[in-house]
Structure 1
Amino acid sequence: MTPDTRRGGDPAVGPAGKRWRRWLWRLLTVAFVLVFTAAVGRALVGQDWSVVGVLLRQQDRTWIGLLLAGALLAAMLGPLLAMLSWRAVLLELGPPVSLTAVVRVFFVGFFVKYVPGKVPGVVATVRVAAANGVTMTRTLVTGTLGMLLVNLTGLTVGLLTGPQVLGGRAVWLALAAAPLLVAMGWPDVLGRAARMALRLLRRPAPARSVSGRAVRVAVGWQTLSWLVSGVHLWLLAVVMGADAGAALPLCVGAFGLASAVGVLAVVVPDGLGVREAVLTGALALLLPVPSAVAVAVASRLVTTVGEVAVGGVALAVVEVVRRRSSVVDASVMREMSGHVQVDRS
C-alpha cells in the first residue's frame, strides 16, 4: 500500500494531475464570478440610484445609528447560536470536549469559509480539531451532519418568504419542511448520509451514532440562529424605509434561504454574490431595486464584521483562559513538588 493510498488519495493521480485540477477549479471560479458580475451589472444599469439617498435623508440619524447597532448585534449572536448547534452534534459522537476546544475548532472552521472551495476549510478544521483531541472521523461526521442541518433549517426558515411571494398558495410550501421533519424523527437518515460521505473519503465510520434528541437540539439551536441572524436584514431594510411589519417575516426568511443557497455555491467563498442576488430578489418586493441592492450589500458587510468580531473575541478569550489555566496548573505542580520534598526531608 502506497502512502497516497493510506491517506485516502488516488494513486493514479500524480502531482501533475492534482495541479491541473487545482488550476481547472480556479478557472471555473473566475469564470463564474465574471459571468455573474456581468449579468448583475447589466441588470442594474439604468436604475435610479438617487432613491437610496432620498430614503436615507428621510430617516433620523440617531434612529439609523440604533438600527445599525441592532443589526450588528444580531449578526454577532447568530454564529454563537450556530456553534451551540454544532456542539450538540459533536458531543454526541464521542467523549466530552471542553467548551474552549469547541470554540477554537468551530470558529477556525467558521472563518475558513471565506476561502474559495471547501477543501482548505476541511483541512484546517481537522488539524485544529486533532490538536484539541478530536479525531478526524468525529470532526468529519460533525461537519457533514452540521452542514446538512444548516441547509435544511435555512431552507425551512426560507418558507417565511412564501406568503408575500405566492399569497394563498404558499400553504403548499409547508411540504418543503418535510426533509427537516424526517431528519428530526429518523436521525439515522442523517447518519447514513454521514457514513456515505466517510466511505467516499475512505475513512472509518464513527463508533457512535447521533440520537434523535441530539438532532432536535441541534435543529433548535440552528433554527434560532437563522431567526436571530435574519433580524439584521430586517433592521437594514427598515433603515431604507421598508414597512417594519411586512418586512420582518420576509427578511428573516430571505436571509435563511439566501444563506443556504450560498452554501451550495461552492465555487465562491461564502456564497459571495449568490446570496446577494437572492436577497435582492426578495427585498425588491418591499423596496425599489437600488435600495434592495444597497441592503443586500450592507448585509454582507454587517455579517462579515459581526462574524469576525465575535469569532475574534471568542478565540481571544479562549486563549486567555488556556494560558491562565496553564499558569495555574504549573503553580499547582510546583506546590505539590514542594510538599513532596518537605515530606521526604
Structure 2
Amino acid sequence: MTASRPWRLPRALVRALVAAFALVLVGAVAVALAGQDWSVVSVMLARSDGGRIGLLLAGALLISMAGLGFGYLAWRAVLFELGPPVGEPQVARVFFVTFLSKYVPGKVPGLIAATKVATANGVGFGRLMGTAALSMSLVLLTGLTIGLLAGVHMLGTQVAWLVAVATVLIVVVLVRPQLVNHGAHLVLRVLRRPDPARSASPRGIRFAVVAQGVSWLVTGLHLWLLAIAMGADPVRSLGLCVGAFTLATTVGMLTVVLPDGIGVREAVLTAALTVVLPAPAAAVVAVASRLVSTVGEVALGATALAVAEVAIRRSPASGPVSEPVSEPGPDQASATAPEPTAVPVPATATEPAPARSPAGEK
C-alpha cells in the first residue's frame, strides 16, 4: 500500500499562474507610475536653474533608493534570525516581490503571491509571517521615534522633551532587544498566526534596529533635497524634513484603509513643510516626494529582481527550491523516483545446489 501524497497543481498551470501574476504586477506598477503627478517636475525645473534642480532631483532619487536598500538589510537580518540560511538571490527575490506586490489592487493576491514565492525559495509561511511581524514592529518603533524630530521643529522648543523620549525609546530597545520579540509575538496573536519556530537573537535585533533607523534617516534626506529645490533654507529644513517624512510615512502605514497611506502622507508632509515653505510650495514638495519614492522603489526592485534572476539561473544548483517539509506531488513522483539498482548476490548463491538423493538412499 503506497502512502498518499499531497495534491498539487500541474506544473503547466503553475507556470501560467506565475506568468499571469507577473503581468499583473508589471501592469499595476505601470498604472502606479502613470498615476503620479509628473507635472511637479516641470514646476520645480521652471523655478530656478534647470541644471541645479535636475541634480537635486537625481540626488533625491538615488538617496531614496539607498534608504530602501538599508531597509532591505534590516528585513534580511530578521529573516536570517528566524530560520536556516537562504541564498542571497532568493532573499532578494522574496523581499522585492513582496514589496512590489503592494501595488497590486487588493491585499489577498499580493499575499498569495508573496507566500508562493517565499515557499518556492526556501522560506516557509510561518517564517515569512514572523519576519513580517518583527520587521513591522521595528519599522513602526524607529519610524515613530525619529518622526518625533518633526514635532520639535513644528511646535517649537516647548516640546523639546520629545527628543528625550525618542532617545530613551531607542536606548531601551538596544539594551533590551527582546522587547521587540514580545511585540512581534503580540502582533502574531492578534492576527491569529503561529509564532515562528525561534526568536531573533539580541544581536540580530540590534543590527536590524540600527539598519532600519539608518534607512529612515537616509530616505528622509530626499525630502530635504526637494525642499531645497523649492527654496527652503538648507540648515533649518534638514531635521524637519527627515522627521516629517518618517512621521508621515509611519502614519500612512498605520492607515491600513488607504493603499500606501495615499493622501494621509501628503497631508502630514504639507503641514510640516509649511514651517519652512509657503503652502503651495510645500504641497509641490509633498507630491514630488511621492513621485520620487515610487520611481525609486520600482527602479531598485526591478534591478534587484533582474540581478537575482540572473544569479539564480547561473547557479550550479539552479532550479526551484522547495520547503524541507514538502513532498513531491503525484506528477513528480515518477520523475524523481530513483531507478531500481541491482542487488549484489553472494557468490555461493549462484552455485548450483547439490542434487538430492533418491528417497531412501544415503
Aligned residues of 2:104 and 2:110 also touching (Cα < 8 A): yes
Amino acid paired to 2:94? V
Question: Which of these residues, 198, 203, 213, is aligned with residue 223 of structure 1?
Answer: 213
In the other structure, the counterpart of 2:198 is: 208
RMSD across aligned C-alpha pairs, in angstroms? 2.3
Amino acid paired to 1:113? K
Q: Which deviations, in whole Å up to 9, do the C-alpha atoms of 1:26-46 show, x marking residues without a partner?
A: xxxxxxxxxxxxxxxxxxxxx
In the other structure, the counterpart of 1:75 is: 64
Matches within 5 A, 1:140-219: 140-173=129-162, 174-219=164-209
Q: Which moved more, 1:85-94 or 1:153-162?
A: 153-162
Q: Which moved more, 1:310-319 or 1:205-214?
A: 205-214
Aligned residues of 1:118 and 1:266 also touching (Cα < 8 A): no
Amino acid paired to 1:278? V
In the other structure, the counterpart of 1:259 is: 249
Aligned residues of 1:116 and 1:267 also touching (Cα < 8 A): no
Are residues 177 and 148 of structure 1, via their aligned partners in 2, closer, same or farther at CA, if it must alter by over 3 Å?
A: farther
In the other structure, the counterpart of 1:278 is: 268
In the other structure, the counterpart of 1:135 is: 124
In the other structure, the counterpart of 1:334 is: none
How many Å separate the matches in 2 of 1:84 and 1:328?
24
Number of matched residues? 278
How many Å separate the matches in 2 of 1:131 and 1:55?
45
Q: TM-score, normalised by structure 2?
A: 0.71
Aligned residues of 1:116 and 1:268 also touching (Cα < 8 A): no
1:126 aligns with 2:115: yes
Partner SS, residue 260 of structure 2:
helix
Aligned residues of 1:79 and 1:307 also touching (Cα < 8 A): yes
Aligned residues of 2:312 and 2:318 also touching (Cα < 8 A): no
Q: Which moved more, 1:112-121 or 1:201-210?
A: 112-121
Matches within 5 A, 1:308-327: 308-326=298-316
Matches within 5 A, 1:235-250: 235-250=225-240
Q: Which moved more, 1:231-240 or 1:317-326?
A: 317-326
How many Å separate the matches in 1 of 2:317 and 2:113?
28
1:296 aligns with 2:254: no
Partner SS, residue 315 of structure 2:
helix
Aligned residues of 2:227 and 2:285 also touching (Cα < 8 A): yes
Q: TM-score, normalised by structure 1?
A: 0.75
Q: Which deviations, in whole Å up to 9, do the C-alpha atoms of 1:224-260 show, x marking residues without a partner?
A: 1111111111111111111111111111111111110
Aligned residues of 1:153 and 1:180 also touching (Cα < 8 A): yes
In the TM superposition, residue 171 of structure 1 has moved relative to its aligned partner by 2.3
In the other structure, the counterpart of 2:35 is: none
Aligned residues of 1:115 and 1:269 also touching (Cα < 8 A): no
Structure with the greater alpha carbon radius of gyration = 2
Aligned residues of 2:173 and 2:180 also touching (Cα < 8 A): yes
Q: Which runs of 5+ in 2 are unaligned?
A: 1-40, 320-362
How many Å separate the matches in 2 of 1:157 and 1:181?
13
How many Å separate the matches in 1 of 2:107 and 2:120?
20
Partner SS, residue 165 of structure 1:
helix
Amino acid paired to 2:259? P
Amino acid paired to 2:257? V
Aligned residues of 1:250 and 1:282 also touching (Cα < 8 A): yes
Q: Which runs of 5+ in 1 are unaligned?
A: 1-51, 330-345
Q: Which moved more, 1:100-109 or 1:168-177?
A: 168-177
In the other structure, the counterpart of 2:17 is: none
Are residues 201 and 285 of structure 1, via their aligned partners in 2, closer, same or farther at CA, if it must alter by over 3 Å?
A: closer
Query: Counting helix residues as a fraction of each chain, which structure ranks higher?
Result: 1
